[in-house]
Amino acid sequence: MKSHRKELWFETRERRKLINITPQVEQVLSESGIKEGLLLCNAMHITASVFINDDESGLHQDFETWLEKLAPEKPYEQYHHNGYEDNADAHLKRTVMGREVVVAVTGGRLDLGPWEQIFYGEFDGKRKKRVLVKIIGE
């Protein structure tokens, strides 16, 4: 069995941003040479997510509106966590949107459904953060 590991780095100018990382993940898979197996992709930070959904701008606005209803950024003092930090909302948003995805690798390609795309969800940006890609197979 082969395994391949790579970290992808992101630094957004905005506090919150959704980035389609499918091309970068496909590139890592290509580098690995693995044709059959499983690919894990996870955020390495507790205020960011990796998830799979549609690359449609209206839906991305809907995610922002929905997450702000569930866990509004402000007022900061509404959260117990916000003493030295102001990112309690980002921890909650990350938990709702998920930590990782696992995608089957078939014939050297990501075995995604027709509209499935992999996203990095940043909820407390403006600093460098990492995503791990780990692939096992042969």
Which residues contact Zn ion by CB under 5 A? Answer: 85, 87
Q: Cβ of residue 101: shortest distance to Zn ion, in angstroms?
A: 23
Residue 107 to residues 13, 60, 103: CA-CA distances in angstroms? 37, 31, 13
Q: Which is nearer to Zn ion, 93 or 134 (CB)?
A: 93
Q: Cβ of residue 62: shortest distance to Zn ion, in angstroms?
A: 25
Report the residue count for the chain. Answer: 138
Residues 12 and 119: beta-carbon distance below 8 Å: no
Using Cβ positions, the residue closest to Zn ion within the complex turns out to be: 85
Residues 87 and 38: beta-carbon distance below 8 Å: no
Q: Cβ of residue 66: shortest distance to Zn ion, in angstroms?
A: 21
Q: Which is nearer to Zn ion, 87 or 117 (CB)?
A: 87
